[in-house]
Protein backbone atom coordinates (compact mmCIF):
# COMPACT_ATOMS: atom_id res chain seq x y z
CA UNK A 1 0.00 0.00 0.00
CA UNK A 2 1.21 3.50 -0.75
CA UNK A 3 1.39 5.62 2.40
CA UNK A 4 2.39 9.26 1.81
CA UNK A 5 4.48 10.89 4.52
CA UNK A 6 2.17 13.90 4.53
CA UNK A 7 -0.93 15.14 2.76
CA UNK A 8 -3.07 12.81 0.67
CA UNK A 9 -2.65 10.59 -2.36
CA UNK A 10 -0.98 12.23 -5.38
CA UNK A 11 -2.30 10.42 -8.49
CA UNK A 12 0.98 10.38 -10.41
CA UNK A 13 3.03 9.30 -7.40
CA UNK A 14 0.52 6.54 -6.71
CA UNK A 15 0.65 5.39 -10.34
CA UNK A 16 4.46 5.27 -10.21
CA UNK A 17 4.21 3.23 -7.02
CA UNK A 18 1.82 0.81 -8.73
CA UNK A 19 4.11 0.42 -11.74
CA UNK A 20 7.09 -0.29 -9.49
CA UNK A 21 5.31 -2.75 -7.21
CA UNK A 22 3.05 -4.63 -9.67
CA UNK A 23 5.51 -7.27 -11.00
CA UNK A 24 6.74 -8.29 -7.56
CA UNK A 25 3.21 -8.25 -6.16
CA UNK A 26 1.99 -10.64 -8.86
CA UNK A 27 4.82 -13.05 -8.10
CA UNK A 28 4.17 -12.89 -4.35
CA UNK A 29 0.44 -13.40 -4.89
CA UNK A 30 0.92 -16.51 -7.03
CA UNK A 31 3.42 -17.90 -4.55
CA UNK A 32 1.05 -17.32 -1.62
CA UNK A 33 -1.83 -18.92 -3.54
CA UNK A 34 0.34 -21.85 -4.63
CA UNK A 35 -0.45 -21.48 -8.33
CA UNK A 36 1.68 -21.29 -11.47
CA UNK A 37 1.06 -18.72 -14.23
CA UNK A 38 -0.30 -21.40 -16.59
CA UNK A 39 -3.02 -22.24 -14.03
CA UNK A 40 -4.53 -18.74 -14.25
CA UNK A 41 -7.55 -18.68 -16.55
CA UNK A 42 -8.81 -15.08 -16.21
CA UNK A 43 -7.40 -11.67 -15.32
CA UNK A 44 -9.63 -8.89 -13.98
CA UNK A 45 -8.94 -5.26 -13.11
CA UNK A 46 -10.70 -2.16 -11.85
CA UNK A 47 -11.89 -0.24 -14.91
CA UNK A 48 -13.19 2.70 -12.85
CA UNK A 49 -14.20 4.91 -11.22
CA UNK A 50 -11.01 6.21 -9.66
CA UNK A 51 -7.79 8.13 -10.19
CA UNK A 52 -6.91 8.07 -13.88
CA UNK A 53 -3.15 7.45 -13.67
CA UNK A 54 -3.64 4.61 -11.17
CA UNK A 55 -6.40 2.98 -13.20
CA UNK A 56 -4.34 3.17 -16.39
CA UNK A 57 -1.30 1.61 -14.72
CA UNK A 58 -3.27 -1.34 -13.35
CA UNK A 59 -5.14 -1.79 -16.65
CA UNK A 60 -1.83 -1.89 -18.52
CA UNK A 61 -0.55 -4.56 -16.15
CA UNK A 62 -3.74 -6.59 -16.60
CA UNK A 63 -3.49 -6.37 -20.40
CA UNK A 64 0.13 -7.53 -20.23
CA UNK A 65 -0.91 -10.58 -18.19
CA UNK A 66 -3.80 -11.31 -20.57
CA UNK A 67 -1.62 -11.14 -23.68
CA UNK A 68 1.39 -12.98 -22.27
CA UNK A 69 -0.68 -15.84 -20.82
CA UNK A 70 -3.25 -15.77 -23.63
CA UNK A 71 -6.17 -15.61 -21.20
CA UNK A 72 -9.41 -13.55 -21.16
CA UNK A 73 -9.56 -10.14 -19.50
CA UNK A 74 -12.49 -8.45 -17.74
CA UNK A 75 -12.77 -4.85 -16.54
CA UNK A 76 -14.82 -4.40 -13.36
CA UNK A 77 -16.80 -1.50 -11.96
CA UNK A 78 -15.12 -0.70 -8.65
CA UNK A 79 -18.33 0.28 -6.83
CA UNK A 80 -20.18 -2.86 -7.86
CA UNK A 81 -17.22 -4.92 -6.66
CA UNK A 82 -17.70 -3.54 -3.14
CA UNK A 83 -21.30 -4.70 -3.20
CA UNK A 84 -20.57 -8.14 -4.61
CA UNK A 85 -17.78 -8.96 -2.15
CA UNK A 86 -20.16 -7.97 0.65
CA UNK A 87 -22.83 -10.31 -0.70
CA UNK A 88 -20.25 -13.09 -0.98
CA UNK A 89 -18.88 -12.98 2.56
CA UNK A 90 -22.12 -12.18 4.41
CA UNK A 91 -25.62 -13.66 4.28
CA UNK A 92 -26.97 -10.61 2.43
CA UNK A 93 -28.99 -11.56 -0.64
CA UNK A 94 -30.68 -8.41 -1.93
CA UNK A 95 -29.49 -5.51 0.21
CA UNK A 96 -29.36 -1.76 -0.06
CA UNK A 97 -25.65 -0.94 -0.07
CA UNK A 98 -24.37 2.12 1.73
CA UNK A 99 -21.08 2.61 -0.11
CA UNK A 100 -18.94 5.03 1.90
CA UNK A 101 -15.34 5.44 0.75
CA UNK A 102 -12.73 8.10 0.08
CA UNK A 103 -13.86 9.08 -3.38
CA UNK A 104 -17.42 7.81 -3.42
CA UNK A 105 -20.59 7.96 -1.37
CA UNK A 106 -23.59 6.19 -2.84
CA UNK A 107 -26.73 4.31 -1.83
CA UNK A 108 -27.06 1.42 -4.27
CA UNK A 109 -29.59 -1.38 -4.82
CA UNK A 110 -30.44 -3.91 -7.53
CA UNK A 111 -33.51 -3.04 -9.57
CA UNK A 112 -34.60 -4.02 -13.09
CA UNK A 113 -31.35 -5.58 -14.22
CA UNK A 114 -28.89 -3.00 -12.93
CA UNK A 115 -27.45 -1.65 -9.70
CA UNK A 116 -29.22 1.67 -9.42
CA UNK A 117 -27.97 4.68 -7.48
CA UNK A 118 -30.78 5.88 -5.25
CA UNK A 119 -28.73 8.57 -3.52
CA UNK A 120 -25.21 9.94 -3.62
CA UNK A 121 -22.94 12.80 -2.66
CA UNK A 122 -23.39 15.99 -4.63
CA UNK A 123 -19.83 17.17 -4.00
CA UNK A 124 -17.15 15.09 -2.25
CA UNK A 125 -17.04 11.58 -0.83
CA UNK A 126 -17.36 11.07 2.92
CA UNK A 127 -13.79 9.76 3.20
CA UNK A 128 -12.46 12.66 1.18
CA UNK A 129 -14.20 15.07 3.55
CA UNK A 130 -12.66 13.40 6.60
CA UNK A 131 -9.20 13.41 5.01
CA UNK A 132 -9.45 17.07 4.00
CA UNK A 133 -10.42 18.04 7.52
CA UNK A 134 -7.57 15.96 8.91
CA UNK A 135 -5.03 17.50 6.55
CA UNK A 136 -6.10 21.02 7.53
CA UNK A 137 -5.70 20.30 11.27
CA UNK A 138 -2.43 18.39 10.95
CA UNK A 139 -3.61 14.79 11.27
CA UNK A 140 -1.87 11.94 9.41
CA UNK A 141 -3.35 10.28 6.32
CA UNK A 142 -5.81 8.62 6.31
CA UNK A 143 -7.55 10.83 8.83
CA UNK A 144 -10.74 8.82 9.29
CA UNK A 145 -9.39 6.30 11.83
CA UNK A 146 -7.68 9.10 13.78
CA UNK A 147 -10.87 11.14 13.93
CA UNK A 148 -12.76 8.05 15.09
CA UNK A 149 -10.39 7.70 18.06
CA UNK A 150 -10.59 11.43 18.84
CA UNK A 151 -14.39 11.29 18.79
CA UNK A 152 -14.33 8.61 21.49
CA UNK A 153 -12.47 11.04 23.76
CA UNK A 154 -15.16 13.71 23.41
CA UNK A 155 -17.47 14.47 26.26
CA UNK A 156 -20.40 14.21 23.86
CA UNK A 157 -20.80 17.95 23.29
CA UNK A 158 -22.47 18.07 19.89
CA UNK A 159 -21.53 21.14 17.86
CA UNK A 160 -24.19 22.18 15.37
CA UNK A 161 -22.88 21.62 11.84
CA UNK A 162 -24.65 21.83 8.46
CA UNK A 163 -26.88 18.81 7.91
CA UNK A 164 -27.12 18.71 4.12
CA UNK A 165 -29.63 16.13 2.94
CA UNK A 166 -31.33 17.03 -0.31
CA UNK A 167 -33.94 14.44 -1.16
CA UNK A 168 -31.98 11.23 -1.50
CA UNK A 169 -28.61 12.98 -1.87
CA UNK A 170 -26.08 14.41 0.57
CA UNK A 171 -23.41 17.12 0.50
CA UNK A 172 -20.36 17.41 2.75
CA UNK A 173 -18.45 20.54 1.69
CA UNK A 174 -20.49 22.86 3.92
CA UNK A 175 -20.01 20.55 6.90
CA UNK A 176 -16.26 20.50 6.23
CA UNK A 177 -15.98 24.31 6.10
CA UNK A 178 -18.06 24.76 9.24
CA UNK A 179 -16.09 22.13 11.18
CA UNK A 180 -12.79 23.79 10.30
CA UNK A 181 -14.23 27.14 11.38
CA UNK A 182 -15.34 25.70 14.73
CA UNK A 183 -11.87 24.37 15.48
CA UNK A 184 -9.56 26.98 13.93
CA UNK A 185 -11.47 30.21 14.56
CA UNK A 186 -13.72 29.42 17.50
CA UNK A 187 -11.21 27.23 19.31
CA UNK A 188 -13.48 24.25 19.86
CA UNK A 189 -11.69 21.12 21.08
CA UNK A 190 -10.62 18.80 18.27
CA UNK A 191 -12.21 15.84 20.05
CA UNK A 192 -15.60 17.58 20.15
CA UNK A 193 -15.35 18.65 16.51
CA UNK A 194 -14.42 15.10 15.46
CA UNK A 195 -17.38 13.76 17.44
CA UNK A 196 -19.73 16.28 15.83
CA UNK A 197 -18.46 15.58 12.32
CA UNK A 198 -19.12 11.87 12.75
CA UNK A 199 -22.53 12.27 14.35
CA UNK A 200 -23.72 14.71 11.68
CA UNK A 201 -22.28 13.05 8.59
CA UNK A 202 -23.20 9.53 9.63
CA UNK A 203 -26.74 10.58 10.53
CA UNK A 204 -27.08 12.00 7.02
CA UNK A 205 -25.92 8.71 5.50
CA UNK A 206 -28.21 6.68 7.74
CA UNK A 207 -31.21 8.81 6.82
CA UNK A 208 -30.83 8.46 3.05
CA UNK A 209 -30.10 4.74 3.40
CA UNK A 210 -33.29 4.22 5.39
CA UNK A 211 -35.27 6.21 2.85
CA UNK A 212 -33.94 3.99 0.04
CA UNK A 213 -34.89 0.87 2.00
CA UNK A 214 -38.41 2.20 2.54
CA UNK A 215 -38.78 3.22 -1.11
CA UNK A 216 -37.65 -0.16 -2.41
CA UNK A 217 -39.16 -2.34 0.28
CA UNK A 218 -35.76 -3.91 0.99
CA UNK A 219 -35.18 -5.68 4.29
CA UNK A 220 -31.38 -5.86 4.23
CA UNK A 221 -28.69 -3.21 4.47
CA UNK A 222 -25.01 -3.78 3.63
CA UNK A 223 -22.04 -1.51 4.28
CA UNK A 224 -19.07 -1.17 1.93
CA UNK A 225 -16.07 1.09 1.38
CA UNK A 226 -13.24 2.14 3.68
CA UNK A 227 -15.38 4.39 5.89
CA UNK A 228 -17.62 1.39 6.56
CA UNK A 229 -14.92 0.19 8.98
CA UNK A 230 -15.93 3.01 11.34
CA UNK A 231 -17.63 1.51 14.41
CA UNK A 232 -19.90 4.49 14.99
CA UNK A 233 -21.22 4.38 11.42
CA UNK A 234 -21.85 0.65 11.78
CA UNK A 235 -23.64 1.25 15.08
CA UNK A 236 -25.92 3.94 13.67
CA UNK A 237 -26.90 1.96 10.59
CA UNK A 238 -27.49 -1.17 12.67
CA UNK A 239 -29.76 0.75 15.06
CA UNK A 240 -31.74 1.98 12.06
CA UNK A 241 -31.98 -1.55 10.64
CA UNK A 242 -33.03 -3.03 13.98
CA UNK A 243 -35.77 -0.43 14.41
CA UNK A 244 -37.08 -1.34 10.94
CA UNK A 245 -36.91 -5.05 11.63
CA UNK A 246 -34.30 -5.33 8.87
CA UNK A 247 -31.03 -7.24 8.72
CA UNK A 248 -27.66 -5.48 8.97
CA UNK A 249 -24.50 -6.77 7.25
CA UNK A 250 -20.90 -5.56 7.04
CA UNK A 251 -17.85 -7.38 5.60
CA UNK A 252 -14.63 -7.78 7.59
CA UNK A 253 -12.56 -4.60 7.68
CA UNK A 254 -9.97 -5.76 5.14
CA UNK A 255 -12.76 -6.37 2.62
CA UNK A 256 -14.35 -2.96 3.22
CA UNK A 257 -11.29 -1.09 1.99
CA UNK A 258 -10.25 -1.37 -1.66
CA UNK A 259 -8.91 -4.87 -2.31
CA UNK A 260 -8.04 -7.22 -5.14
CA UNK A 261 -10.38 -9.94 -3.91
CA UNK A 262 -13.49 -7.92 -4.72
CA UNK A 263 -12.22 -7.19 -8.25
CA UNK A 264 -11.32 -10.84 -8.89
CA UNK A 265 -14.67 -12.12 -7.58
CA UNK A 266 -16.80 -9.65 -9.55
CA UNK A 267 -14.79 -10.30 -12.72
CA UNK A 268 -15.42 -14.01 -12.29
CA UNK A 269 -19.16 -13.39 -11.85
CA UNK A 270 -19.20 -11.35 -15.05
CA UNK A 271 -17.21 -13.87 -17.06
CA UNK A 272 -19.14 -16.86 -15.74
CA UNK A 273 -22.42 -15.21 -16.76
CA UNK A 274 -21.25 -14.66 -20.34
CA UNK A 275 -19.51 -11.27 -20.35
CA UNK A 276 -16.54 -11.09 -22.73
CA UNK A 277 -14.15 -8.23 -23.50
CA UNK A 278 -11.59 -7.55 -26.20
CA UNK A 279 -8.49 -5.50 -25.44
CA UNK A 280 -10.08 -2.50 -27.12
CA UNK A 281 -12.95 -2.73 -24.62
CA UNK A 282 -10.65 -2.31 -21.62
CA UNK A 283 -10.09 1.46 -21.67
CA UNK A 284 -10.47 2.89 -18.18
CA UNK A 285 -13.30 5.23 -17.22
CA UNK A 286 -12.59 7.59 -14.32
CA UNK A 287 -16.31 8.31 -13.96
CA UNK A 288 -17.59 4.79 -14.55
CA UNK A 289 -21.16 4.92 -13.26
CA UNK A 290 -22.48 2.13 -11.06
CA UNK A 291 -25.75 2.11 -13.00
CA UNK A 292 -24.01 1.78 -16.39
CA UNK A 293 -23.40 -1.97 -16.03
CA UNK A 294 -25.83 -4.70 -17.09
CA UNK A 295 -25.97 -7.19 -14.22
CA UNK A 296 -25.98 -10.49 -16.07
CA UNK A 297 -25.31 -12.70 -13.05
CA UNK A 298 -28.47 -11.89 -11.09
CA UNK A 299 -32.13 -12.57 -11.83
Given a cut of 80, is residue 229 above it in pLDDT? Answer: yes
| Residue 148: predicted pLDDT | 98
Q: Is residue 62 part of a domain?
A: yes
Q: Is residue 97 part of a domain?
A: yes
Instruction: Tell me the average pLDDT across 12-24.
Output: 94
Contacts (Cβ under 8 Å, ≥6 apart) of 53 = 11, 12, 14, 15
> For 240-284, what is each residue's pLDDT tens digit?
999 999 999 999 999 999 999 999 999 999 999 999 999 999 999
CA 262 distance to own-chain centroid: 11
Handedness of CA 162, 256, 146, 50 (dihedral sign): negative
Task: Share the mean pLDDT of the chain.
Answer: 96
Domain of 127, in residue numbers: 92-250
Q: Return phi, psi of residue 47, to 5°.
A: -90, -10
Q: Is residue 124 part of a domain?
A: yes
Q: Are residues 241 and 181 in the same domain?
A: yes
Strand partners, 74: 44
> For 161-210, what is each residue's pLDDT tens digit?
999 999 999 999 999 999 999 999 999 999 999 999 999 999 999 999 99
Q: Is residue 299 part of a domain?
A: no
Q: Is residue 31 part of a domain?
A: yes
> For 35-61, what is each residue's pLDDT tens digit?
999 999 999 999 999 999 999 999 999
CB 103 within 8 A of CB 284: no
Q: Are residues 97 and 194 in the same domain?
A: yes
Instruction: Tell me the average pLDDT across 5-32.
Output: 91
**Cα distance between residue 37 and residue 145, in whole Å:** 38
Strand 165-166 and strand 114-120: the pairing is unpaired
pTM of the model: 0.92
| Residue 249: predicted pLDDT | 98
Q: Are residues 233 and 96 in the same domain?
A: yes
**Cα distance between residue 196 and residue 232, in whole Å:** 12
For the chain, what is the domain count? Answer: 2
| Residue 2: predicted pLDDT | 82
Residue 160: CATH number of its domain:
3.30.420.40
Instruction: Give the confidence band of 6 by pLDDT, cuts at 50, 70, 90.
Output: confident
Amino acid sequence: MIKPEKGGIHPREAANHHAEKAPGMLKETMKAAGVEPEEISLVTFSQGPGLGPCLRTAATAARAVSVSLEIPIIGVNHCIAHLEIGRLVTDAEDPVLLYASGGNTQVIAFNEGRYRVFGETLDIGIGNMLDKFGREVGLPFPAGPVLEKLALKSGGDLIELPYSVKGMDVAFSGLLTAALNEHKRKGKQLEDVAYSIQETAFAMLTEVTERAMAHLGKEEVLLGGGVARNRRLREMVKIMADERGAKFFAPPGDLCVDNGTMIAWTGWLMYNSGTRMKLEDTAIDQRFRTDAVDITWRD
